[in-house]
Amino acid sequence: MPAYPNEILKCFRANEDGRYELTQTFVVDGYRYAGDGFVCARMRCDEPDTEGRWPDVAALKWSAREYASVPIPLPAIETIPPDPPEEKCTCCDGSGEMAPGVECPMCDHGMRARPMPAMKMDDIEIALDHVRLLSAHDATLFAPINRNTPGYAQTAYFKIGDEIEGLIAVCKSGHSVIVEPITPTPATLEERNRNER
Ligand SMILES: [Zn+2]
């Protein structure tokens, strides 16, 4: 695991650039940021602003008043289940085509997009890969308050150590499949112990 906040921050970058250049970290107004559109992490820095195309990250809901003051416990990393496998499309039986040369409208090359797997903590749902990311870095997570009120934060807030803070998207209820924590097997526990040594 990376030992320095700058290294940890890099874990929050996007895998590919889209409308914005998010595969790199960038400096805006005294903070270095990393994000992918669903998560945004930052830490203070005294470098000049980076040139590039960024979303308006400073305008996100960073104020502590938007979030509960008591943290939500995150599941231990070894209890977070793996992503459920994608399902074969029942419409085209996994071929991706309705007829030769006619693409199936119901799937992506024969695999059905499944709802996003998420874990429910208190009453907020966070995407499974985000739970994994936060748990791996020993983050402390705070739920948004008044989240059913339009205009209030639809993100949860997290801290990693004293230096990194971040915002993470809360899944809309009903848009994700809730997965339950698993009981680690002796093998996964042993592997964890080995990694910590
Ligand atoms: Zn199909």
Q: pLDDT tens for residues 112-124?
A: 756 778 999 888 8
**Percent residues over pLDDT 90 in the chain:** 50
Contacts of 112 (CB under 8 A, 6+ apart): 86, 87, 88, 89, 90, 106
pLDDT of residue 44: 97
| CA 109–ligand 1 middle distance (angstroms) | 7
In this structure, of 16-20, 132-136, 140-144, 171-175, the range with the lowest mean pLDDT score is 171-175
Length of the chain as a residue count: 197
pLDDT of residue 189: 67
pLDDT of residue 114: 65
| CA 88–ligand 1 middle distance (angstroms) | 8
| Coil/strand/helix, residue 114 | coil
Predicted confidence (pLDDT) at residue 179 exceeds the cutoff of 90: no
pLDDT of residue 154: 85
pLDDT, mean of residues 45-64? 93
Predicted confidence (pLDDT) at residue 1 exceeds the cutoff of 80: no
| CA 130–ligand 1 middle distance (angstroms) | 28
Predicted confidence (pLDDT) at residue 85 exceeds the cutoff of 50: yes
| CA 15–ligand 1 middle distance (angstroms) | 27
| Top-confidence range, 107-116, 150-159, 182-191 | 150-159
Closest to 110 measured CA to CA, from 86, 127, 133, 130? 86
| CA 45–ligand 1 middle distance (angstroms) | 49
pLDDT in tens, 22-42: 999 999 999 999 999 889 999
Q: What is the C-alpha to C-alpha distance for residues 94 and 90, in angstroms, rounded to an integer?
A: 7
pLDDT in tens, 6-15: 999 999 999 8
Closest to 138 measured CA to CA, from 47, 67, 76? 76
